[in-house]
Structure 1
Amino acid sequence: MKSGQAAGKVVGVLFILAAVSSIAGLVLYDPILSGSDYLNNGAAHANQVILGALMELILVVSAIGTSITMFPFLRRYNESLALGHVCFRFMEAVIIIIGIVSMLALLTMSQEYAANGAADEDAYLASGTVLHAVHDWTFLLGPNFMLGINTMMYSYIFYRTKLVPRYISILGMTGATLVFAASLLEMFGAFAQVSVWGALLSLPVAANEMILAVWLIVKGFNRSAPAQADPNPKGSIML
């Protein structure tokens, strides 16, 4: 019971750390992501951009940390889904790292652009467009597409086992479905990544993570949940 309480607190803190670092990273990237003069602005705010990359690295560590910490508890009920959750969290993290590399590469390019006195501007702008596109796609595929899959996995186990109150797991499954749908709609151009619809469809999964985080910090995993999965849950067929 004590290990469950401690693990719950760790998971809760990691969820909050992931949320804060992801927002901070996006805000700190602003000079090199926004505006037509991003090459000059990026070089002028190099330390800010690097700090943004550091925030996203904290996001990566936090995301992987949640899956590793939850795995021993989730595997008691469904080992396949528990392992799948870890794998998809790692895939999400890898995609985010690719986005970080694209931003750091863009920063290096902007510094060279500023040092060379804006020579061959068209070539720099073409390369900048490519690196921006890489970041945009990683932002779509990592914190949206993959997030929807791994959130559905752990929320389903939570729902079946009551490790946390069912209203939280239902919100998690709903949020996972909506953010996954948003990623597909954005992929096919139904609306832009940064849009009102994108924000609305992402809101439930963000709310789920924060509510889950607070619950786990305060209460931990449910102590009255069964110690392991029911080998013959209601509705299953005995052979």
Structure 2
Amino acid sequence: MSAVCGVYLLVQLQVVPNHLLCVYLPTGIGGLVLTYLLYVSRLVPRPIAVLGLVGYAALSAGVPLDLAGVLDMNEGAGLIFLAPGGLFELLVLPIWPLTKGFRPAN
């Protein structure tokens, strides 16, 4: 869904206001599903899955706040909504499987 939104935005011949929000929303919802499944299946330690849940919940909560004009997710305090998900996606989740591997379900 995120790829479809991204392609749609690239095909547009005009500037789309709040273009990142069109990609953030399906990414946040899909990330919540992914991290919930990681939490339930215990493929990664629970703190890692909880960090993902918090990160994607913050991303999903920040989109309506940005659309309502309460904050701007691209600068200032709005970046707080992107930090946990960024930490999860860029540092924790890629490094864990490479160094420790997945733990099979019991």
Quick check: 1:101 aligned with 2:11? yes
1:213 aligns with 2:71: no
Q: Secondary structure at the match of 1:146?
A: helix
Aligned to 1:140: 21
Matched residue type, 1:216: P
Distance 1:99 1:168 in 2: 32
Tell me how far 1:177 sits from its aligned partner.
0.8
Residue of structure 1 in register with 2:76 after alignment: 196
Residue 100 (structure 1) shift = 2.0
Kept in 2: contact 1:175–1:203 (CA 8 A): yes
- Between the aligned partners of 1:99 and 1:221, the Cα distance in structure 2 is 36
Q: Distance in 1 between matches of 2:28 and 2:96?
A: 21
Q: What is the aligned partner in structure 1 of residue 36 from structure 2?
A: 156
CA offset at residue 95 of structure 1?
A: 0.5
1:122 paired residue number: none
Higher CA-based Rg: 1
**Which protein has the bigger helix share?**
1
Q: Which runs of 4+ in 1 moved over 6 A?
A: none
Secondary structure class of the residue paired with 1:164: coil
Superposition deviation, residue 147 in structure 1: 1.4
Distance 1:166 1:150 in 2: 18
Q: Provide the C-alpha distance between the structure 1 equivalents of 2:6 and 2:49, rounded to a whole number of angstroms.
A: 25
Of the candidates 217, 225, 228, which is equivalent to residue 105 of structure 2? 225
Q: Deviations over 1:32-64 (max 9, x none)?
A: xxxxxxxxxxxxxxxxxxxxxxxxxxxxxxxxx
SS at match of 2:79: helix
Q: Residue 5 of structure 2 aligns to a residue in which SS?
A: helix
Contact 1:95 1:138 in 2 (8 A): no
Report the TM-score, using the length of structure 1 for normalisation: 0.41
Of the three residues 48, 63, 66, the one matched with 1:183 is 63
- Distance (whole Å) between structure 2 residues aligned to residue 221 and residue 100 of structure 1: 36
| Alpha-carbon offset, residue 182 of structure 1 | 0.6
SS state of the match for residue 82, structure 2?
helix
Contact 1:99 1:139 in 2 (8 A): no
- Work out the number of aligned pairs and report it: 105
Letter in 1 for 2:87: A
The superposition leaves residues 73-119 of structure 1 with CA deviations (integer Å, 9 ceiling, x where unpaired) of: xxxxxxxxxxxxxxxxxx111001122223xx4xxxxxxxxxxxxxx
